[in-house]
């Protein structure tokens, strides 16, 4: 969802964005989790779905995630966050299985699952094909589009499609990687992209500082004159 929101903001406020790095992107024109899961991991998808049809399953999750029964909420929160199940099947060697210091509590996990379910069910609350129709506006912004080749949460096709319209962005399809940042290959590409921007913006700052005695204010996406 973060990548989608970043793209929507950048389309609307292009002049305020100096650069953009997105990963695990979705065009939000289809119920992504259902389509990718059903096609690639039907056994996991079969455990995940609760009803006979896709639309009924999403509605059922939305209902169960808001249940007053604590046990039901927890059960369906765990079922909703099913990416770990996918990686157990794939058994990627470079997927980090170490426990991190950060651990989301059950209440926060439930809120996140509920938010994602509602957001995906309504295709991001956008007009139909909004991103596809407006992606060309991103061409004023340099960027990186990073996507795991085996991402079953958001298909790599999404990133490929937006890269055709956002020509200033570099598309990186990461081999042996899925959707999660827990995959080391994804993390490495994100760091590389960040370092590339660091070099680019350092050069830009040096140029404007020397020629115009001003510096780039990256938070505001504009130039500010030194006092």
pLDDT at residue 151, rounded to an integer: 85
Residue 22 to residue 126: CA distance in whole angstroms: 19
The string of pLDDT tens digits covering residues 38-63 is 777 777 777 777 777 767 788 888 99
Percent of the chain with pLDDT over 70: 74
Q: Give me the CATH topology for the region 1-28+134-227.
A: Rossmann fold (3.40.50)
Match 């604590």 to its residue by tokens.
70
Instruction: Indicate the domain borders of the chain.
Output: 1-28+134-227, 32-125
Q: How far apart are CA 1 and CA 56, in angstroms?
A: 22
Let me know: does 152 contact 40? Beta carbons within 8 Å: yes
Task: Note the pLDDT of residue 45.
Answer: 77
What is d(CA 211, CA 227) in angstroms, rounded to the nearest whole number? 15
pLDDT given at position 124: 83
Higher pLDDT, 130 or 54: 130
What is the pTM for the complete model shown?
Answer: 0.77
Query: Which of the four pLDDT bands, split at 50, 70 and 90, describes residue 88?
Result: low
Tokens of 9: 């903001």
């Amino acid at each position: 969802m973060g990548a989608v929101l970043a793209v929507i903001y950048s389309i609307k406020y292009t002049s305020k964005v100096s650069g953009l790095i997105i990963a695990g992107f979705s065009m939000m024109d289809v119920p992504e989790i259902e389509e990718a899961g059903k096609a690639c991991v039907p056994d996991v998808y079969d455990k995940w779905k609760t009803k006979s049809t896709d639309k009924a399953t999403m509605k059922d999750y939305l209902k169960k995630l808001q249940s007053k029964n604590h046990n039901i909420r927890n059960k369906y929160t765990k079922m909703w966050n099913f990416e770990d199940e996918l990686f157990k099947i794939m058994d990627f060697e470079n997927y980090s299985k170490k426990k991190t210091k950060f651990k989301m509590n059950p209440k926060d996990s439930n809120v996140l699952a509920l938010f994602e379910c509602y957001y995906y069910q309504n295709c991001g609350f956008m007009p139909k094909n909004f991103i596809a129709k407006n992606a060309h506006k991103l061409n004023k912004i340099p960027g990186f589009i990073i996507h795991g080749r085996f991402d079953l949460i958001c298909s790599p096709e999404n990133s490929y499609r937006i890269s055709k319209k956002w020509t200033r962005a570099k598309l990186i399809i990461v081999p042996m990687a899925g959707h999660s940042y827990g995959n080391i290959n994804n993390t490495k590409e994100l760091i590389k992209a960040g370092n590339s921007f660091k070099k680019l913006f350092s050069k830009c700052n040096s140029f404007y500082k020397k020629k115009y005695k001003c510096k780039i204010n990256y938070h505001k996406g504009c130039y500010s004159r030194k006092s």
